[in-house]
Amino acid sequence: MNIFITGGAGFIGSHLAEYHLNRGDNVVIVDDLSTGNEQNVTPFLKDSRYRFEKGDILTWEGMEQEIAVADRIYHMAAVVGMFRVLQQPVEVTRVNVQGTERLLEYIARAKNHPMLVLASSSSVYGHVHTSELREGIELVFPIENNALLGYALSKLTNEIQATAYGQAHGMSIAIPRLFNAVGPRQSGNYGFVLPRFIKQAISGIPLTVFGDGSQTRSFCDVRDTVVALDLLAGNPAGWGQPVNVGNSHEISILDLAKLVIKRAGSSSSIEFVPFEKGYGKHFGQILQRQPVLEKLQHLTSFQHAWTLERTIDDLLKRERSQVDSGASVA
């Protein structure tokens, strides 16, 4: 099978590439390396079935050619990470919406439409006041103190674009809503919390928790995430509709910090930082992100292989190895 991955040098994209190479597929990735890291995919260069292209999905001239020969496309290219989203609001809507439109248009023109997995986000749930984050609930997006509104609406727009193109052109499109993937190769540089905590705990410096840490999140190991994406891609019954992909195990950010310190055997303390200092005065904190996974489990045979504790232990081991070798992963 020929696999094409946009944003393929990023955290999830590189794991998708590895997953499909291990299955014997041919893999081509494109990435402008704005948040992706070429080191993420360097180990694949020796594989004759793999090719890397550096390019912006808005302008890269090879897009139409790769789509024409692809059997499956994973569209992972987007402006991501809390810090980058807050700092580059124009890029968020430009890349996330226009880039997706360009991709969909080329797929629509292709003689044989490749199957598309278009990555959406739990951010589309906005500020819904319910612990039951199901795919069909009514969405709420307050305008004031909502610096992440552009990102949330860009991903919701992607879902609308995918549905429209799918209906108009008979395209096969899976629309996973991803919830907080974590694991190897994720950087803390763009606001992702777990790699930041791992690095701080190994270094023995305070773990920085924004707010009082009572906000909860549900973390899914990326190695589970890519399996779920493959299963969704393989089941036509799930195409054309959003499907939550993540882990329903919920933990507060404060408890996550304590868990990392405990499993690291670290002497680090915890430092509380006001949201305004970390994210700016217009940041409205979302208190909960816990997916209901009934639709995913109904459509696929997916089962989690990684607990949060196992993921943390694996990341601690990797970070210590990098520190010992003179480099750091975060």
Element (H, E) at 74: strand 72-75
Q: Is 166 exposed, middle or buried (0-12, 13-18, 19+ CB in 10 A)?
A: buried
106 is catalytic: no
Closest to 178 measured CA to CA, from 7, 29, 327: 7
Catalytic residue of the set 151, 165, 190, 279:
151
Q: Provide the 3-class DSSP secondary structure of residue 14.
A: helix
Strands 216-218 and 250-252, by their bridges, are antiparallel
Q: For residue 242, list its beta bridge partners.
A: 175
Q: Would you list the DSSP string of 237-292? A: GGTTSEEEES---EEEHHHHHHHHHHHHT----EEEE-HHHHH-TT--------B-
Token pair in block for residue 34: 């704005």
Look up residue 134 and give its DSSP letter: -
Three-state SS at 81: coil
Q: What is the largest CA-CA distance in the chain?
A: 60
Beta bridge partners of 31: 54
Angle at 33 between CA 257 and CA 93, to 5 degrees: 80
Enzyme catalytic residues: 151
